[in-house]
């Protein structure tokens, strides 16, 4: 009998893997959940697991490394004994260092690899995520593409594994947890604006680049639009380094929050006018009919072309004036209403597990 080993290391991975874990628990399917600790901040990891009401990981790593290369090496070393000697199928989700490290280890241990959210492509080689997902796709045995476009990317690249269109498990997560957020979240009591845009920023190519980060912050501030910004630890660190944090804090139309748990962030998304972000996952989430929010994407490329083609997401050039003008124009637009998401109906976890069992 095969055992499924599910490995996750960041907030988005935990959110998207939770429906798979829940389905396996409900159906008494043998599995092991391992957390790599790539996101070490409490609100980005442990709080998310509690919000999602899934069991604590069977094993958690405590990483010492900070650089990508040493982090990948450390994950591989510490993970080896947890999957050694078992007839395991390793399940990874997404495109982080944790995903690449786990996939490389699985190859060396001759384990089968299932890659959830396979086939995404930005064709932007500045992004570490683009390197990671391409490599993982080409060594995986089972590839679960969320959409027809991502599936076609895999066919075009002639990957060796078996490919399937599964939808995206983030739709499962929203369907399962938005009602819980409505009941439990208290974050809206802290928001001092009756209407607001929601802002998030974390990608290295934006926050580690002083010139780009200055343009983004200047554009958001000068738009004069009420904006709520939960600050990722990495972003807070770089804002402080470049003397931009106090600038944000001193603006009356900007409200800075600490990183939010999943339920609170769902509530913030549901109640905002629109979202300003460089996140990939948020582009997917906002296509859910339960959220239906426009997304201004602070990037030059996106691996979610489906969200852009349906005009939920819009790429915004990383220039101060363009960012400012786009935010101001978005504030005056009518809310969007999504009827069908290209990322599925919220039954992806069931489809993925069923396929893997076969």
Q: Is residue 213 part of a domain?
A: yes
How far apart are alpha carbons 213 and 21 in whole angstroms? 37
Q: Give the CA dihedral 190, 192, 194, 200, nearest 10 degrees.
A: -80
How far apart are alpha carbons 228 and 211 in whole angstroms? 22
| Shared-domain flag, residues 57 and 24 | yes
| Shared-domain flag, residues 128 and 265 | no
| Shared-domain flag, residues 127 and 204 | no
Let me know if 31 is a catalytic residue. Answer: no
- If you average pLDDT over residues 8-36, what whole number do you get? 94
Q: Is the pLDDT of residue 184 over 60?
A: yes
Q: What is the pLDDT of residues 228-279, one digit of tens each?
A: 999 988 899 999 999 999 999 999 999 999 989 899 999 999 999 999 999 9
Q: Is residue 312 part of a domain?
A: yes
Q: Is residue 338 part of a domain?
A: no
Task: Please pick, among 39, 177, 202, 232, the residue that the annotation labels catalytic.
Answer: 202
Residue-wise DSSP of 197-240: EEE----HHHHT-HHHHHHHHHHHHHTT--EEEEPPHHHHHHHH
| Shared-domain flag, residues 21 and 81 | yes
Name which of 50-54, 127-131, 209-213 the model is least confident about: 50-54
Q: Is residue 339 part of a domain?
A: no
- The CATH number covering residue 9 comes to 3.40.50.2000
Q: Which residues, 6 or more positions from 126, have their beta carbon under 8 angstroms from its beta carbon? A: 205
| Shared-domain flag, residues 160 and 279 | no
| Shared-domain flag, residues 214 and 246 | yes
| Shared-domain flag, residues 161 and 181 | no
DSSP letter at 184? H
Domain that holds residue 33: 3-168+344-357
Q: Is residue 146 part of a domain?
A: yes
Smallest CA-to-CA distance from 159 within 129, 120, 127 is with 120
Asked if 86 contacts 93 with a C-beta cutoff of 8 angstroms, the reply is no
| Shared-domain flag, residues 277 and 297 | yes
3-state percent helix, strand, coil for the chain, nearest multiple of 5? 45, 15, 40
Q: Is the pLDDT of residue 77 over 80?
A: yes
Helix (H) or strand (E) holding 163: strand 162-165
User: What's the order of all strands across the beta sheet hosting 197-199?
Assistant: 254-257, 227-230, 197-199, 275-277, 295-297, 313-315
Q: Is residue 22 part of a domain?
A: yes
| Shared-domain flag, residues 210 and 130 | no
| Shared-domain flag, residues 84 and 225 | no
The total number of structural domains in the chain stands at 2
The whole-number pLDDT of residue 42 equals 47
Which has more pLDDT, 204 or 284? 284
Q: Is residue 30 part of a domain?
A: yes
| Shared-domain flag, residues 38 and 134 | yes
Cα–Cα separations (whole angstroms), residue 149 to 32, 121, 271, 311, 326: 31, 9, 30, 16, 28
Residue-wise DSSP of 272-323: SS-EEE--SHHHHHTTSTTT---EEE-SS--S-HHHHHTTSEEE--S-HHHH
Average pLDDT value for the chain: 93
Q: Is the dihedral of CA 112, 12, 325, 125 positive or negative?
A: negative
| Shared-domain flag, residues 225 and 297 | yes
Q: Is residue 314 part of a domain?
A: yes
């Amino acid at each position: 009998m095969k055992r499924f080993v599910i490995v996750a290391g960041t907030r988005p991975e935990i959110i998207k893997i939770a429906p798979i874990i829940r389905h396996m628990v409900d159906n008494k399917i043998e599995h092991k959940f391992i957390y790599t600790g790539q996101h070490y901040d409490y609100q980005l990891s442990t709080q998310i697991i509690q919000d999602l009401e899934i069991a604590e990981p069977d094993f958690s790593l405590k990483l010492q490394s900070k650089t990508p290369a040493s982090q990948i090496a450390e994950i591989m070393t510490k993970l080896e004994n947890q999957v050694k000697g078992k007839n395991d199928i390793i399940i990874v989700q997404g495109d982080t260092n944790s995903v690449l490290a786990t996939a490389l280890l699985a190859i060396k241990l001759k384990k089968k690899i299932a890659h959830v959210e396979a086939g995404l492509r930005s064709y932007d080689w500045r992004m570490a995520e683009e390197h990671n997902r391409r490599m993982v796709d080409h060594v995986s045995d089972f590839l679960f593409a969320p959409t027809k476009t991502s599936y076609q990317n895999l066919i075009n690249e002639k990957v060796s594994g078996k490919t399937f269109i599964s939808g995206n498990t983030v739709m499962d997560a929203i369907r399962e947890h938005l009602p819980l957020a409505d009941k439990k979240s208290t974050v809206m009591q802290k928001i001092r604006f009756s209407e607001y845009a929601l802002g998030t920023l974390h990608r290295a190519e934006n926050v580690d680049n002083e010139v780009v980060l200055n343009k983004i912050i200047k554009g958001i501030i000068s738009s004069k639009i009420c904006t709520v910004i939960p600050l990722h630890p990495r972003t807070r660190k770089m804002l402080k380094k470049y003397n931009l944090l106090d600038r944000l804090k001193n603006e009356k139309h900007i409200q800075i929050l600490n990183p939010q748990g999943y339920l609170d962030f769902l509530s913030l998304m549901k109640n905002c006018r629109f979202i300003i972000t460089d996140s990939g996952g948020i582009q997917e989430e906002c296509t859910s009919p339960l959220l239906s929010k426009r997304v201004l994407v602070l990037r030059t490329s996106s691996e979610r072309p489906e969200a852009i083609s349906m005009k939920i997401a819009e790429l915004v050039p990383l220039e101060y004036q363009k960012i400012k003008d786009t935010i101001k124009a978005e504030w005056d637009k009518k809310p969007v209403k999504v009827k069908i998401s290209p990322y599925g109906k919220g039954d992806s976890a069931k489809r993925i597990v069923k396929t893997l069992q076969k």
